[in-house]
Every structure is written in C-alpha cells, then in structure tokens.
Chain A
C-alpha cells in the first residue's frame, strides 16, 4: 500500500506545485500575495473558502462523531452552516467593500483602523496562540492515519504535510493556496461521494439502510444521552460565529473580484458545505447501522471509525480516500499559515515586505511541524480550545459595524479578558453555574467591551 500511496501522493504534489508555480506569476506586493490582488473569481473563492473551512475533521472527526452520537452531530454541523450563511449574507458585503475602499489586507487592518494598531497586535498574538496548536493537531491526526493506512511513518507524514503547506503558500501566496484549494476541494467532495456509494454497495446488498435504520434508536433523535441541550450549546456557539472569528476565513472576504463574485462565493460555499456535511454524516450513520447488523466492526473510539473503514476498502480507494483526508488537512493548514504570516508580519511587526511574509511562512510551518513531532499533551488541549479562544474578537468585529463607542483601551481589554477567561476556565475545568465556557467567554467579552467603551468615552 505504501508504494501506491507514494505514486498517488507524487501525482498530487506535482499537480499542486504546477498550480502554485502558475499562480506565483504577477505577484508584486502584499495585496497580490495575501489576498490575490482582490481579483479572485466567485467559484475559486467559494472552493477555497470551503476547503479552508472543512478540514480533516470532516472525514475523520465528524464521521466518528456521527457514528458514536447519531444525528445530533449532523445538527451541530448544520447549525454552523446556517450561522455562517446568516453572518456572511449580512456582513460579507460590508467587509468586502470596507476592505476595498480602505485597502485592508488582514483582518487586523480593519481592527487597527477602528481601534488602533496596538489592538491589532494583541489580536495577532491571540490568533497565533489559538491556531498554531490547532494546525499541529491536524498534522498529527492526518499523519497517524497515513501511518496506519499507507505505511508512511508518522514523522514522514508530518514532514511531508509541513513541506507542502509551506511550499505552495510560499510560492503562490493566496492565489497558489486558492487554486490548489479549488482542485483539492473538488477532490474531497468526489471522494466523499465515492466512499458513501462504496459503503452502501458493500454493506446493504441484502438489506436496506432505511429498513435497518430504526435499530439506532435514541441516536436518531435529539436530545439524547450524548447530545444534551447544554453540550449542544457549548459546541455550537463558538462554531456559529466561525465566519467572523476565524481570520483565515475572514480574510477570504476581501478576495472576490466584485460584488457578483462575492455573492457567488457565499452561495456556492453554502451548497458545498451542505452537500459535504450530508455525505459525511450519512457515512457515519451508514457505518453505525452496519455495526448494528454485524457487517462493520463495533468501534469504541470514535476517531478510529474512519481508519477502520479505510482498512476494509479496496487498496486503490483506501489510498484515494487517505489522500483526500490529507488534502483536507493541507487546505486548512496552508490557509491558516498564510493568514497568520500576514497578521504576524504586517500587524505585529509592521512589515510591508513580501520577504518578511515569506520568511514567516517558513518559521510558522517549522514551529507547527516541531509541535506536531513532539506531541506534547497541552497542544491537544489548546487546539480543542481554539474556537473558544477566538470568541473574544467578536465584540470588536460587531463594534466596527454597530457600535460607535470603544477605542484602543476597551478593545484591548476585551481581547485580554476574553482570552484569559477562556484559558482559565479550560485549564481549571471550572463550570460556573453549569454554563459552558464558550457562553461565559462570549458574555464576559461583550460585557467588558460595552462597559469599558462607555467608560473610555466619558
């Protein structure tokens, strides 16, 4: 299996590199490098938005979560999608036009314009702390799958992933990332369709999925033992605001070439997200039904469901699905690395140099690979915490559009208070009043912002 994976991987790497080489032509400044010169078509914008959003979590984590917990996992993922559509349909045109009029390149540019440069610096640190462990964990997960199913060693998987993340972003900037995302996004979708069809033909030749489905019982309704209302809220709230709080997707609101492309981006992303979510969760339900009727082994660890499936597939399909999971991790990671490099070099260090940005890509990717290779326990904890850590930015972003009060001091205080609270609640495992940490972080961040901005005004 190793040799067939190596052939497939070599083909994938050559195609991606060719795309990145074409994309690097005509890059003159940071606007070209980080946001594609604001000249990206609606279809490519949609595919890069989707490929950036949908990581290896989908084919590994969400398949396993649906297998273990039932339809609640589908609801959780669709809550994210409707939240994103709601926010994008309202805020995306505003962010896009502000960005174009005022020359914003990073999410921090908008924050600096409104609240001052020091706030953008704090924000760059917050997002780096939140997202570097998150990408490292993506690399760890995908390398473990490759190790088990393709024979590639764990460290080989981490180094290959890190190399491609840095290389494609380094060469082509946003355009390189967006174009490689587009082809990988289509590949991810095709492989998800193929997997669902293969499992259906493999497992339901003598019985019907819908006939056997009621055997899942409580897993077909919410709430159930796993999806309690409180658990659902605690997981859903940070993801509901993902479109505004995660800089790698926020920065993509600057890239469409015109208003029509922006609209197309949002709608096509929504269609991609809905189809992909249906496929992935349907796969999880299929596998669970097959476990109930004894065709698929019962899997206790939910993250082991997809690897178990890969082990049962024909070698060619197993290799292709492994590669699609690898692609999902790469597309998310290189987008985050590019956005982080723009925020750290531009917002934190005030550098307008392209070389500084490129150097930052190499440094960030090296740090991510080192974290992934060392696998310290706190990385996993920080990565789980990432979406909650990023919530402290939300009052500032809403403040740009809806709240005139609030300047440097109140915005800085909000970021520090929300970020510190998220870390404290997570590491002390405190659960005041039984309310989830994400709700506390959101409430306290907004409260600090409103109170301190009123005081700052007076």
Chain B
C-alpha cells in the first residue's frame, strides 16, 4: 500500500517532464498543486 502510494506520488511529480511543455506558469502551478494535495492527504486521511 505504502509502496503504491510512493509510486503514485513520484509518477505525479514527473508528469511535467513528459506532458507539460507550455512556456508559462503551468509546470510551477502543477507541482505546487501535487505537493499541496499530498500534504492534505497526509494531514486529513492518511495519518
């Protein structure tokens, strides 16, 4: 379960390397959103 969680989080973090190519704030916003959601997940449901 924890291994799967790790794989999902890392996969989500590497998405900009593959799928985001626009010259704007999207990569920055995307990484902020993923980290925020993961922090919320840990705070609200995981622990």
Contact = CB atoms under 8 A, between A and B. Distances in A.
Interface in A397-447: none
A78 B35 contact: yes
Interface in A269-300: 270-271, 274, 278, 281, 285
B16 A222 contact: yes
A267 B43 CA distance: 6
Interface string A84-104: 011001100000000000000
Interface string A212-234: 01101110111100000100100
Interface in A317-371: none
Contacts of B24: 213-214, 220
Contact of B38 (A85, A210, A229, A281): A85
A221 B47 CA distance: 34
Contact of A221 (B9, B23, B34, B36): B23
Interface residues of A, number: 32
Given A71-B27, A86-B6, A90-B2, A221 B20 contact: yes
A71 B28 contact: yes
A266 B47 CA distance: 10
A222 B27 contact: yes
Given A86-B5, A216-B23, A79 B46 contact: no
B38 A82 contact: yes
Interface of B is mostly: helix
Contacts of A263: 47
With a 10 A CB-CB cut-off, give which of A74, A82, A271 has the most chain B CB atoms: A82
Contacts of B22: 220-221
Given A214-B23, A221-B23, 13 more contacts: A71-B31, A74-B28, A78-B31, A78-B34, A82-B34, A85-B38, A89-B47, A213-B24, A220-B28, A221-B20, A222-B27, A229-B17, A232-B17
Contacts of A85: 38-39, 42
A217 B21 CA distance: 10
Contact of A75 (B25, B27, B46): B27
A217 B27 CA distance: 12
A85 B47 CA distance: 11
Contacts, number: 78
Given A210-B25, A221-B27, A82 B17 contact: no
A93 to B, nearest CB: 8
Interface of A is mostly: helix
Instruction: Say which size band chain B's interface belongs to.
Output: 20 to 34
A221 B21 contact: yes
Contacts of B20: 221
A75 B16 contact: yes
A39 to B, nearest CB: 21
Contacts of A249: none
A278 B42 contact: no
B17 A223 contact: yes
Nearest to B29: A71
17 contacts: A74-B28, A78-B32, A82-B34, A82-B35, A86-B2, A89-B42, A90-B2, A218-B23, A220-B24, A220-B25, A221-B21, A221-B23, A232-B17, A263-B47, A266-B47, A267-B42, A274-B32
A81 interface: yes
B47 A217 contact: no
Contacts of B23: 214, 216-218, 220-221
A216 B46 CA distance: 38
A267 B9 contact: no
Contacts of A216: 23
Contacts of A86: 2, 5-6, 9
Contacts of A223: 17
